[in-house]
Amino acid sequence: MSYQPPDFPPFDPQLAAALRARIDGKAKPPGSLGRLEELAIQIGLVQRTQTPRIERTLAYVFAGDHGLNHEGVSAYPSAVTAAMVATFLAGRASVNALAAACGVEVRVVDAGVDADLTAHPGLIAAKIRRGSRNAAVEPALTEAEVEAALARGGAIAAGSDAEALIIGEMGIGNSASAALVMHRLAPAGLDDCIGAGAGHDAEGMARKRQVLARAAARSDATRPLEVLRQFGGLEIVMMAGAFLGGAAAGKLMVVDGFISSAAALAAARLSPGLAARLVFAHASTERGHHGLLASIAARPLLDLQMRLGEGSGGVLVAPLLRAAARLMTETASLDDVLAGRIVP
């Protein structure tokens, strides 16, 4: 494949020291705001400034269908993907309600929905094809499709005028694809990567494990691009491209739950310096998520026992991002307070 991911050098140590001194010099005991201070420093490093700014935040919900779903890896039919896209665009999904409460705008990206979607102001038409192929019997994607999805995701994120981007997803069957990606790229035992997804009874879980074992046995891929070709869904590949392209453009990139994290894992394996530039929103209860996070030393901000996807956990951290940035720019220094230079 000819795709070349962006390179992410280490953060500037002088800027890191200046940001630490700046936050420690605020009118508060050093370290008293805990991880919020770490987040403020990270935002400054990503934006390459001592006066970071997070005002506009966008959530991108990347949508795609999966040939694997023909094997019954989900409790729901693939048609639900297009139905949920319509629900997002109507503003009636859970992520819409949470985003509205947190001051986040929602956009839907058609990466590979197996339907013809009607044009809408909130819809970005980026379809590569109508769903991936059945990874249990053949590669899910071609090399050209992987490269096109990575490039389109990167362009969407880099072209956004928001400072922070939340990367979510919708795709019936995509927890199966994400489990295979994690299995090869974490790496981890396949059974440790397979969860209930949108919901399965014992019989459904047994079927899902059998199908994914068959898919894994079909290919021994371990290189990131080849793993995405063999097992990836179009929304997962396009999310990986978004993480890379957005971070390269200086955006603060927010990872949602298990499927979003699988895309972030693939992106981080393509360009190892990326991981330090990502904000991991929450710890999902989907089986495998904690192990996936550990594989890239990620520390999520929240643990609310959620496992919905859609970017729902990501939008909840938007107020934390804005608050952390404002600590750097709006909190008085201790020197100014002690010198009486702060007046009401």
Residues 111 and 125 occupy one common structural domain: yes
User: Are 131 and 149 in contact, with CB atoms under 8 Å apart?
Assistant: no
Residues 24 and 112 occupy one common structural domain: no
pLDDT for the residue 203? 84
Residues 193 and 293 occupy one common structural domain: yes
**Structural domain count of the chain:** 2
Residues 35 and 182 occupy one common structural domain: no
Span 157-172, average pLDDT: 98
DSSP tag of 190 = G
User: Are 277 and 219 in contact, with CB atoms under 8 Å apart?
Assistant: no
Residues of the domain holding 48 = 13-53+325-338
Cα–Cα distance for residue pair 28/2, rounded to 1 Å: 51
Q: What is the CATH number of the domain that holds 162?
A: 3.40.50.10210
Which H or E element spans position 202?
Answer: helix 202-218
- What confidence tens digit (pLDDT) does each residue in 111-133 have? 999 999 999 999 999 999 999 99
pLDDT surpasses 80 at 146: yes
Is residue 6 situated within a structural domain?
no
Is residue 138 situated within a structural domain?
yes
Residues 302 and 253 occupy one common structural domain: yes
Per-residue tokens: 300: 């999520």
Contacts of 327 (CB under 8 A, 6+ apart): 23, 26, 33, 36, 37, 40
Residues 26 and 79 occupy one common structural domain: no
CB atoms within 10 A of CB 120: 15
- What confidence tens digit (pLDDT) does each residue in 271-317 have? 999 999 999 999 999 999 999 999 999 999 999 999 999 999 999 99
310 is catalytic: yes
User: Are 57 and 103 in contact, with CB atoms under 8 Å apart?
Assistant: yes
Is residue 3 situated within a structural domain?
no
Which single residue is written with the structure tokens 């990270």?
Answer: 42
Cα–Cα distance for residue pair 44/135, rounded to 1 Å: 41
Is residue 308 situated within a structural domain?
yes
Strand 278-280 to 252-255 pairing: parallel
Ramachandran quadrant class, 270 (left: phi over 0; alpha: psi -120 to 50; beta: rest): alpha
pLDDT surpasses 90 at 4: yes
pTM to 2 decimal places:
0.97
Q: What is the CATH number of the domain that holds 17?
A: 1.10.1610.10
pLDDT for the residue 204? 84
Q: Residue 49's closest CA among 22, 84, 15, 97? A: 15
Is residue 118 situated within a structural domain?
yes
pLDDT for the residue 304? 97
Residues 211 and 173 occupy one common structural domain: yes
Residues 332 and 271 occupy one common structural domain: no
Sheet holding 164-170, edge to edge: 123-125, 105-112, 57-64, 164-170, 252-255, 278-280
Residues 115 and 34 occupy one common structural domain: no
- Name the active-site residue from 55, 138, 310, 330: 310
The mean predicted confidence, pLDDT, of the chain is: 96
Is residue 344 situated within a structural domain?
no
Is residue 234 situated within a structural domain?
yes
User: Are 184 and 217 in contact, with CB atoms under 8 Å apart?
Assistant: no
Is residue 1 situated within a structural domain?
no
- What confidence tens digit (pLDDT) does each residue in 213-265 have? 999 999 999 999 999 999 999 999 999 999 999 999 999 999 999 999 999 99
Residues 149 and 225 occupy one common structural domain: yes
Residues 84 and 207 occupy one common structural domain: yes
- What confidence tens digit (pLDDT) does each residue in 183-224 have? 999 999 999 999 877 667 788 889 999 999 999 999 999 999
Cα–Cα distance for residue pair 217/127, rounded to 1 Å: 29
Residues 142 and 89 occupy one common structural domain: yes
